[in-house]
């Protein structure tokens, strides 16, 4: 089912949670709503679900206006942030709930419900826990029960609010991939809310970056990472170094260059992965500058080197230990740094 959101706004008291949002999600896509807390991403998800009503604007499912439809008619599955499992029901009854509350005419009989619930529990690999209660499960297991419960009513759209938010980091990574595979095998449209950039990058087909109730950018993970629409997106997606400089003769200059008083301030954002450390100036590419190594931090696969530029700004460079001899990067050593010019993002600066 495709989802089309047109000019939707939502106000809570004096707080504008969503400001004129428009977004379309084609059938079968897995979309991440990504943003800091308070950006309106959960509100948007709840509007799509029908848990809240928009102040203005329209939401279409498959081209049909669904504003007046209840959650049941919308055919939406919702996985809550803290799972919201029914604590007084067993895992089996939790999953069966959506089937049991159906009106008499369309309700399955007990044997069919049992078969369907067990199939779903096998799908989430929890059939052996059918008789347990939510309180007896681990976080990851609860998460999967919540998923099975949402899938029981065969939704066309699956909405997930911070699906991995409450989990340990190693379980989180495992579940991400599993959820992605599940989405692909079911062929439904999924939207999930997250504030975790890695999560959005890894799972989603498309990322919608939100801030203050507005969409800052939407695009594939590659687009959002490599062609950020603005400084906010650049800073939010991945680590970034900030340099202050000035625009002079249509060129950004940094550090020691004297201000003429005529120039405009400019800020440049450069990712640690878009910079390189060189031990001598001759092996350097474009516009190198001097820096002093402050310290090294090991992040597993890559190493972060913290440096101070010759004009005193502190920044980070990512170094691949396979390409560079780490023993030469001793704190206090003078080195040269080059920048991949096409990966730099300038703010308030036009040529």
Partner 1 sequence: MASSASIGDGTVIRRILIAITVLFLSVFLVLPILVVIVSAFQQGMHTYWAAISEPEALDALRLTLIAAGVAVVSNTLFGLSAAWMITNYSFRGKNLLITLIDLPFTVSPVISGLIFVLLFGGRSVVGRWLIDHGIHIIFATPGIILATCFVTFPFVARELIPLMQSQGNQEEEAAYMLGANGWQIFWRVTVPKIKWGILYGVVLAAGRAVGEFGAVSVVSGHIRGMTNTLPLHIEILYNEYQFSAAFAVATLLLVFALVTLVLKRYLEYRIDRKSEAL
Q: If binding is defined by CB under 8 A, does position 163 make contact with partner 1?
A: no
Residue 167 DSSP SS3: coil
Query: Least CB distance from residue 86 to partner 1, whole Å?
Result: 6
Q: If binding is defined by CB under 8 A, does position 142 make contact with partner 1?
A: no
| From candidates 10, 41, 149, 276, binder to partner 1 by CB under 8 A | 149
Interface with partner 1 (CB under 8 A), residue total 26
| From candidates 36, 64, 67, 72, binder to partner 1 by CB under 8 A | 72
CA gap 2, 20 in Å, rounded: 20
CB 292 within 8 A of CB 252: no
103 Cβ contact list (under 8 Å, min separation 6): none
Closer residue to partner 1 in complex, CB, 85/191:
85
Q: If binding is defined by CB under 8 A, does position 221 make contact with partner 1?
A: no
Q: If binding is defined by CB under 8 A, does position 166 make contact with partner 1?
A: no
Stretch that binds partner 1, among 108-116, 150-158, 224-232, 251-259 (CB under 8 A): 150-158
CB 34 within 8 A of CB 197: yes
Which parts of 187-240 fold into alpha helices (H)?
197-203, 221-226, 231-236
Q: If binding is defined by CB under 8 A, does position 102 make contact with partner 1?
A: yes
What are residue 319's DSSP bridge partners? 303
Query: Least CB distance from residue 25 to partner 1, whole Å?
Result: 19
Q: DSSP string spanning 256-288?
A: TPPP-SSPEEEEEEE-GGGEEEESSGGG--SS-
CA gap 257, 143 in Å, rounded: 55
- Picking from 51, 97, 41, the residue whose alpha carbon sits closest to that of residue 71 is 51
Handedness of CA 39, 43, 48, 53 (dihedral sign): negative
CB 210 within 8 A of CB 34: yes
Q: If binding is defined by CB under 8 A, does position 97 make contact with partner 1?
A: yes
Q: If binding is defined by CB under 8 A, does position 104 make contact with partner 1?
A: no
- Picking from 315, 313, 280, 279, the residue whose alpha carbon sits closest to that of residue 295 is 315
Closer residue to partner 1 in complex, CB, 49/284:
49
Q: If binding is defined by CB under 8 A, does position 108 make contact with partner 1?
A: no
Q: If binding is defined by CB under 8 A, does position 225 make contact with partner 1?
A: no
Closer residue to partner 1 in complex, CB, 44/319:
44
What are residue 53's DSSP bridge partners? none
Q: If binding is defined by CB under 8 A, does position 78 make contact with partner 1?
A: yes
What are residue 270's DSSP bridge partners? 241
CB 134 within 8 A of CB 149: no
Stretch that binds partner 1, among 2-10, 56-64, 98-106, 205-213 (CB under 8 A): 98-106
Q: If binding is defined by CB under 8 A, does position 71 make contact with partner 1?
A: yes
Closer residue to partner 1 in complex, CB, 84/242:
84
CB 176 within 8 A of CB 149: no
Q: If binding is defined by CB under 8 A, does position 152 make contact with partner 1?
A: yes
| From candidates 56, 62, 86, 287, binder to partner 1 by CB under 8 A | 86
Of residues 21-60, those binding partner 1 (CB under 8 A): 49-51
Query: Least CB distance from residue 286 to partner 1, whole Å?
Result: 54
For the window 243-272, what string marks contact with partner 1 as x by the rule CB under 8 A? ------------------------------
- Picking from 305, 266, 307, 270, the residue whose alpha carbon sits closest to that of residue 287 is 270
Closer residue to partner 1 in complex, CB, 88/287:
88
CA gap 27, 190 in Å, rounded: 9
| From candidates 16, 84, 123, 242, binder to partner 1 by CB under 8 A | 84
Q: If binding is defined by CB under 8 A, does position 117 make contact with partner 1?
A: no
Q: Which residues bind partner 1 (CB under 8 A)?
A: 49-51, 71-72, 76-78, 80, 82, 84-89, 97-98, 101-102, 133, 135, 149-150, 152-153
């Amino acid at each position: 089912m495709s989802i089309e959101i047109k000019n939707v706004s939502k106000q809570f008291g004096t707080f504008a949670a969503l400001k004129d949002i428009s977004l379309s999600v084609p059938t079968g896509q897995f979309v991440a709503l990504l943003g800091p807390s308070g950006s309106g991403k959960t509100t948007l998800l709840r509007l799509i679900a029908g848990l809240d009503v928009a102040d203005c604007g329209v939401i279409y499912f498959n081209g049909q206006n669904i504003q007046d439809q209840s959650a049941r008619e919308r055919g939406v599955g919702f996985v809550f942030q803290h799972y919201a499992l029914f604590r007084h029901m067993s895992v089996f009854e939790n999953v069966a709930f959506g089937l049991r509350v159906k009106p008499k005419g369309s309700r399955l009989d007990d044997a069919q419900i049992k078969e369907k619930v067990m199939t779903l529990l096998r799908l989430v690999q929890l059939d052996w826990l059918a008789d347990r209660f939510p309180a007896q499960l681990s976080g990851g297991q609860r998460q999967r029960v919540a998923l099975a419960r949402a899938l029981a009513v065969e939704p066309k759209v699956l909405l997930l609010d911070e699906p991995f938010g409450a989990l340990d980091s190693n379980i989180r990574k495992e579940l991400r991939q599993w959820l992605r595979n599940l989405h692909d095998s079911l062929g439904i449209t999924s939207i999930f809310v997250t504030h975790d950039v890695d999560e959005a990058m890894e799972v989603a087909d498309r990322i919608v970056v939100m801030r203050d109730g507005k969409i800052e950018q939407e695009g594939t993970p590659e687009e959002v990472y490599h062609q950020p629409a603005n400084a906010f997106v650049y800073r939010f997606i991945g680590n970034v170094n900030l340099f202050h400089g000035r625009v002079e003769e249509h060129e950004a200059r940094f550090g020691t260059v004297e201000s003429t008083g005529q120039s405009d301030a400019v800020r440049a954002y450069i990712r640690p992965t878009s910079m390189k450390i060189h031990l001598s100036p001759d092996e350097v590419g474009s516009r190198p500058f001097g820096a002093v190594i402050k310290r090294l931090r090991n992040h597993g696969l890559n190493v972060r080197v913290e440096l101070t530029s010759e004009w005193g700004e502190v920044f980070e460079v990512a170094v691949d230990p396979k390409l560079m001899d780490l023993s030469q990067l001793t704190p206090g050593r003078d080195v040269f740094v080059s920048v991949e010019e096409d990966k730099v993002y300038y703010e308030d600066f036009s040529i």
